Amino acid sequence: MEKHIGNCSCGDIEFYFNNDPINSIFCYCTECQSLTGSDKWFGLWVPRDNFKFTKGTPLSYMRVGDSGKKVNYHFCGTCSTVLCAEVTAGNFYSVSATSLKDNKFTPKMSIYASSAPSWAIFPSDVPKFDALPPGMGG
């Protein structure tokens, strides 16, 4: 079983998840833009049971997602790095790929492309969806 380790910028918060993510996405929704100060969030979707915080206690911020269910963001109260978003509708964490110590994952799809700013950059070799791919809920 492979263990992937990550932390926030200042090191107060550490986490790990087991096994490879079930999906890896560039998300261009407006929430991810304000969260990252960028055109997108690079999220690794990890089933809730595979993810654990191992050091520190992150702060949380909740919003209601498109599904009507909660999305809980967990971030460091010291350096404000957002480590993951708990997507309760799908029972997974969208873990920030950039907070991994050694990220070997690459995006498999671009989602919420219709919300992207005009200057957004899309990888040319992965499928692009206006919102979510068919059958993936919302």
Q: Nearest approach, Cβ of 80 to Zn ion (angstroms)?
A: 7
Which alpha helices (H) appear in the chain, and where do they start and end? 30-36
3 state SS of 35: helix
Among 18, 36, 72, 78, binds Zn ion (CB under 5 A): 78
Among 5, 79, 121, 136, binds Zn ion (CB under 5 A): 79
Q: What is the longest distance spanned by two Cα atoms in the chain?
A: 41
Among 12, 14, 20, 39, binds Zn ion (CB under 5 A): 12
Q: How far apart are the first and last CA of the chain?
A: 30
Distance CA 55, CA 58 (A): 9
Q: Which helix (H) or strand (E) holds 4?
A: strand 3-7
- Does 32 bind Zn ion (CB under 5 A)? Our answer is yes
Distance CA 16, CA 119 (A): 33
Among 6, 8, 75, 96, binds Zn ion (CB under 5 A): 8
Which segment (17-25, 31-39, 44-52, 66-74) binds Zn ion by CB under 5 A?
A: 31-39
Q: Nearest approach, Cβ of 30 to Zn ion (angstroms)?
A: 8
Q: Would you tell me which residues interact with Zn ion (CB under 5 A)? A: 8, 10, 12, 27, 29, 32, 76, 78-79
